[in-house]
Structure 1
Amino acid sequence: MRLNHVPGITRVALTSVRTTTDELLALLGRLRGPDAARDPGLEVAALQAAELAHQHETGLLAVVEHADADPAILVAGLIAVARPLDPDSAAELGYHLADTGGPGIREVTRAETERGYPVVLAERVQTPGAQLQAVVVDPERPRIVVFTLHSPTARGWLEVAGIAGRFVAGIDLSVPARVP
């Protein structure tokens, strides 16, 4: 699978928990500006994101930035499923999320990527923050790709969600490889 470069998305190395934490902390600190040094939760958040990414063998950890928004974290993982899913299965997933998605789910929609892959989008509003999950279905192979975008503050949410959306829309599942 291939993911295109999209301005505003900076990938973070997943070589070790310490390296990932340090890189994430430096990137988030730079984006947040001078107030970041006074934010004791920033290092904790970077460490937690790095630990979760390594624990779940995440294929992608990135920071999404926009001039009018606080930075958001984007995580992606490739998940094997029992059988290839067709567009009807994606629609079923959308209905399931809408009905049983739990607290905070504001909207569930279905769409297609630029290459025609079915995708289910679920937006969750949290206090504080916001989260968007995009589940891209590979109709040719028994796998899905789950993207999760999280903004701790939700400031500029539409801007960072739009950047992440362009990133997800460009996925190419015909290339046999892991998420870079």
Structure 2
Amino acid sequence: MNADEYHRLGKLVSFTLMYGGGERRVLGTIERVIGHKINWNGPQHIKQLFLEQYPEFVSLLAPNNSQTLYTPFGSVPISIRLKRTQMINMPIQLCASILFKYIMIACFKYVKLAKIILPVHDELVFSAKDTDLQVFKREVKRVIESALNTGLSKLEVKNVVNVTLKGDF
């Protein structure tokens, strides 16, 4: 496997654990990426190391009948019954939507070489005329990483932005 494949595998395993996946789910994720079955008991160790590194997930992944949603941004009461997987997924989706709003606001304020024309799920589409596209790319990356570092002050965010340049629409 090359570095990109290891990076992809790490992301998939991390998200599997964040969404409450157990050892069998982690093993299945690894097997899908490498393309064959393996006989290995490492996923239990991986999950243990993950929870030691990110102890805040211990409480998030515990069975919970609470009607309170716990996120890094604070607690929110909820008035509907949710499944365990929904209780795990909701804080992640809520945090992602808050961070995406930080990014949109920062790009609106600080990206001077283009205008946002459309936000799509986790992407922004810009319109840039007569602009040095490499300068635009660097500016967007700088603004987005700065916004994420502001929103996630305890986590250094670098190299998470992918700017794809397309032709005329």
Fold agreement, TM-score > 0.5: no
Q: Looking at both structures, which has the greater relative contact order when contacts are Cα pairs under 8 Å and sequence separation is at least 6? A: 1
* Pair member with larger Rg: 2
